[in-house]
Structure 1
């Protein structure tokens, strides 16, 4: 008896729509569709949306409704285990008999489609879906075929299914003959081709009726033995496949590693010479651009003066004509003097590269790509009269200091893809050194002897950092417009952040607040909770104070903020009091391209002169004290220990080196 439609629907609801088998450990999604736990796990792991699954979810396999993790912290691989078990479906599976095997429509298989069969054609011995069954009944050649519901065939196969066997050699030809000479069942095509001369050909039904019941025990034993032999051969062949694949994998890996060694060697020496060239060319182009900009300003000033004089003359304004003419003369003299200096310092630059002979001989012996030679010639320059050095101010409470290098270590570590650019250094607890590597987008913690302790990879390049307390530091990320807070102990871990709303550069602790510089030309006082207490972008008369403030330092003894302005070649001192900054500068100290600034234990300011290649020591009142160091290679940043006896610095000209120095009295230099 055929099943009712309701019963068919019930049975189909117990089938997994992924594997099309009886549900095993049924798990329900929020949209109430149910799947096998293993099928659901496989689907989630291989879904294209897996990469952003936590944020965007994964669509249901049936209705495509977006599904999210039952527990947000779980990886996608564990989602299926935490979706609720469908106990109702599990109970129905135990009660309602469901065939564990589904039949698929044979015609649809030929068209590379998978549709569940509902019917069975007895003449064609084919399972058919609903659409193919209708088509089968409408075709002239098959409309008289008997179509039976597939459930009836399963429950009562003998009367419903026609007893026939299809010939192996001639597809869809029924085997209904038997050749007694060869003891072989045949179809009509076999008789016509291979058994034409055989004499004992009979209907297979007659042969079956005449023969006695046959015991197939021996045949089954022979078959079982052959199955065992085949399995043994299969396992042996599979083991050969496995070992061969392992050998292939190892050989390919060895070839790849050999190739990688050669490529890494070439890339390493290439990066060394290109980094050196980039550093030199950047310096040259910066100087050239400054000279071009000055020439443009001279042209603009002269055109403006000429226009003003001619306009006053045409309007017969004698007084105005006299004034602007005098002003024009003064401006002319200034511009002529500046242009003369530019002309004298107009270098002709010639970059030379000579390929190393070892490149042509062998890559294995390759030590360098070639010799880099840069020559600067100044054909128009006259020997200048050197300006007198700044006059040191006598120090009443502190004798003259000298420096002695105690350590240089390489900050480039495993995993760095570029030459380092150390934009911030902090000497932590006088024994550890924390660096911000802007080029390799990393924070690095070293021991006092230069041994690497921790590397923390950031999402964007860090610029400057300051310690909030003994265990926490704040780091500026200009591209993210954020100040991130990190806990620094044995490891480095992020514990929070502050939105800066625009690109932030330098940072320092000023009392209980953060003082931050911005590329837009201002500084802000920001509380640790993110509240902006004050912004300084102009002075007391409304003029803009800063052009490109990069670094900032705080003197806790006098409550002074020192801001280095790279474009204006100045370090500006501002008074800080209770979260407020006095816009009137205390003093402006001029340095050629100031970068990093730091305050030592006695309150002295130290400035990295990027273009002058030296370190200026400046008293808290803005008076020059001494050149602490010279002959440096584009110093970037400097930091002192808490006791002021040691300091560390980085240079753009020596990008990977961090140098440690000890400050000693000049009278003790010979004893050192």
Structure 2
């Protein structure tokens, strides 16, 4: 797909730090792909850590995405240094400097000198002044390196290839030479040796990147980013328009109230004041909601604009390897972006201020209780604003369950739990004391061994998860890096665990326990009738657990409790909800899965044999999807399924 010359040749915005508004110095990028000068992001990190009293993370200055640095004893001064360098932006800075005849000698820089460069060595990827060029030619190892005059490069398009060597982000000094097709990841030789020895499809980076700029997939990828930006622009415009409309509505209602007041006796002024207070309260409520919606959408747009700029500039001016590298980085973040975007869009409501006349007021002055009622009405966001896939509906209540694949985990006759993480699956098996990260076809990607036997796992804020284990301890892990971040001691052992509102909710047969996430201190305990081995939680007061051999307890805020009881449910175990709020209960001994409405009414019962399982143990759904999996206690099998 052709890209406008004037847009891609002038990429100064891509090379400008949004903190200091100057050209980057030692550019570093965050997981959201926003780039900053090393000194700028370091100053920002220190300020954030000091203000928010955090020692493990900070938020991106632009999109506010949380950047998790892990539990570390290092001073936050070192965090900026640990962030990956943006080699693509650095190469674009070299290109710009060459075009403008401003490129300085790299060798002189090392000696704190400033000399204008005259030539470029494509082998060493360095620019030299006349004196350093002579020195470069005098060494045996570099004597035959071809040198190109920068004056010639600045008048041609060859500057696109001045930097073709890409460095590994995980292993300093190592060069990217290999590409793992199975994991869609560029690798250095150390990566291959340590983590990808068993991968079946490993090719050179040159072969992987060959022709990527001209592929239909790359063009569609860029079009998809642009489409999402247009959706965001339309949503932002819609939110701002609705905010203005709500102000007009408030003004019109106040005028109407004023006209009514003029026709009535003096004592009505007190009622008028009450209405004004309600209007003001409602207006502030709408302004807060719409302003928050707009801020979220603008942060999404900022991320998309940044990715579009990176992709367009890379396609026009970067090498094939750079193009592959940058697109891979964006793709790695895009799944999380789409999921976060989908969740935020689904929560947006259109809000308007309404006024209803009190008819009694017109006829009976002495019986007046108010001038009217102020209320806010909400309606679903118009489907025109939903990107493809977000507004999809699923046939949860009437659709057939289709088994996509059966995954065989290492251990049998073993407690097995798990969760979805981006495009992968993460499992824990009790007897192995291990956390397994697998692809959806069941291939093991990486493992983490914990000191205790593992019971259950629950997602926290990405990429963190909490794992419940034996020996009265729970572990916070990083699912992306597959390492343990924190160990929290608790005063009683729990099996099932859920995370919500900075609280862990643990289950252990005859009781449910609320645990403070920051310290592990017990908050409160609630007894059950037994079989409360797992728990689902939407908030601290909204949870579901087993409550005896044949029933479950659905607890809601304001102390409302619903009991579901059925003789066809025996030994309830895993509990889950789909994105339509339907409830699912694994019957371990009854060998079935019960599907309930959100108010605890039975919809239907699935036979576990239909998905080739004997005793269902845990069920988990993928966010905003009809895909789910069920683990089997006796066989170590996991059935990956979806509703058709």
- TM-score normalised by L of structure 1: 0.35
Q: Which of the two has higher C-alpha Rg? A: 1
Q: Which structure has more RCO (C-alpha within 8 Å, separation ≥ 6)?
A: 2
- TM-score normalised by L of structure 2: 0.36
